[in-house]
Amino acid sequence: MSGERMRLSARREKPLATRRRLDRTFEWFCASVSLVALALLAVLLAAITWQGAGMLSLQFLRSSPTADVERAGIFPALVGTVWVCFLAACVGLPLGIASAVFLEEYRPRGRMARFLWSIIQTNVHNLAGVPSVVYGILGLTLFVQMFQIAGRGTSPAWEIGVQYYDQFVTEGDRVVWVAVAARNAPPARLVDGMAAVTPRGQSVRLHVVGPNDPLPADPAERAYTLRSDAEGGRISRERWYYFRVPFGRGVLSGALTLTLVILPVVVIASQEALRAVPPSLREGAFALGATRWQVVRQVTLPVALPGILTGAILAMSRAIGEAAPILIIAGIVYISQAPQHLMDDFSVLPLQIYNWAQRPQAEFHRLAAAGILVLLAILLAFNAVAVLVRHRAQRSLP
């Protein structure tokens, strides 16, 4: 009898030893893969730092990109990145969290409603895997053109905060602007003594002469003399609150397109965080007489906030590095001026880095490496804020 027990014990111990051996093997395998990945990441970061650290300076951060490597900078793309990502976070994170709360906490009870809920849930998960370039095409149609309102394409159907001028070059080689009523207004009719402004905003009076009339001998009078048949070019001067419909290829269109990119990620991560909240907390709050909104606001959201912020970190990390949708929306890679309002042309750091990296000169490759370091710094700054909020939320929980 004792021999039989020993044989049974040996049979039981053998699979147990095998499982422990497999567990240790798998543990060492995971550790090895993690170390290899970290080593590759460290090598890449070291190579980028070694190549681009020498180009980092205040001048690099405050200058515009030029063909001169010594004076080239990243300021317009840096401002564009901050604007676009900040607006995308302000729109996408609240909208995604609110959608997750509605889908998870206010789940419908009826049969048809549950069927519609399952369709929405499936579409959200499918959208999370859609390539970002598809969102760029969607943003081009939805925000830039707004389905070509009134057949205008990207031309504004309505706008506010803009003044249009006809630009002329006087006989004294001075640039003057003559105000017109609208974008499609007829050319300005030149009349002697009419008012105009210079690019610096100085008001002047024009002296208009005929096509064959002699010019004034006085240089001061000739400086603002125009012939009556002079042709001007239509320009615009937008104020800081300029707004138009359709939005055009501006900062707002880029931010809303990135909102579409990060929205599925935020919704899915927020839903998973809400599902991780113990049901006993909800049931206890309902037992005390709390309404559903009170349970969501005072119980569910505070507990799920760390997980929600983790999803926000992942979403913003993706948004900062996106290049394909912004390339479709902006339509340009190089820009020399930072955006002045939400409808202004813009560029972002990934596009500027791409512009430098595709050039054959090694100096521009070093500029691209410096741009990557700046992009990583912005990414770490966004993530640091989210991690800090998440840490405080975790400490405040009982």
Q: List the strands of the sheet with 175-180, edge to edge.
A: 203-205, 195-197, 175-180, 158-169, 233-245
On whether both 224 and 347 belong to a single domain, the answer is no
CATH of the domain at 382: 1.10.3720.10
pLDDT tens, residue order, the chain (398 aa): 455 555 655 555 557 777 788 888 889 999 999 999 999 989 988 988 898 888 888 889 998 888 888 888 899 999 999 999 999 999 999 999 999 999 888 877 778 878 888 888 888 888 888 888 999 999 998 998 888 775 566 678 889 999 999 999 998 899 999 999 888 889 888 888 899 999 888 999 998 988 888 888 888 888 899 988 888 899 999 999 999 988 988 999 999 999 999 999 999 999 999 999 988 888 898 898 888 899 999 889 988 988 898 888 888 888 888 888 998 998 777 788 889 999 999 999 999 998 888 888 888 889 999 999 999 888 888 778 877 877 776 655 55
- Residue numbers of the domain that contains 383: 58-150+249-396
On whether both 124 and 184 belong to a single domain, the answer is no
On whether both 79 and 227 belong to a single domain, the answer is no
CB atoms < 10 A from the CB of 152, how many?
A: 13
The string of pLDDT tens digits covering residues 98-134 is 999 998 888 777 788 788 888 888 888 888 888 889 9
At residue 204, the 3 state secondary structure works out as strand
Tokens for 171?
Answer: 């006989």
pTM, entire model:
0.84
On whether both 211 and 77 belong to a single domain, the answer is no
Nearest CA among 196, 201, 205 for reference residue 232: 196
Whether cis (ω within 30° of 0) applies to the bond prior to 278 is: no
On whether both 316 and 376 belong to a single domain, the answer is yes
On whether both 261 and 130 belong to a single domain, the answer is yes
The string of pLDDT tens digits covering residues 163-204 is 999 999 998 899 999 999 888 889 888 888 899 999 888 999
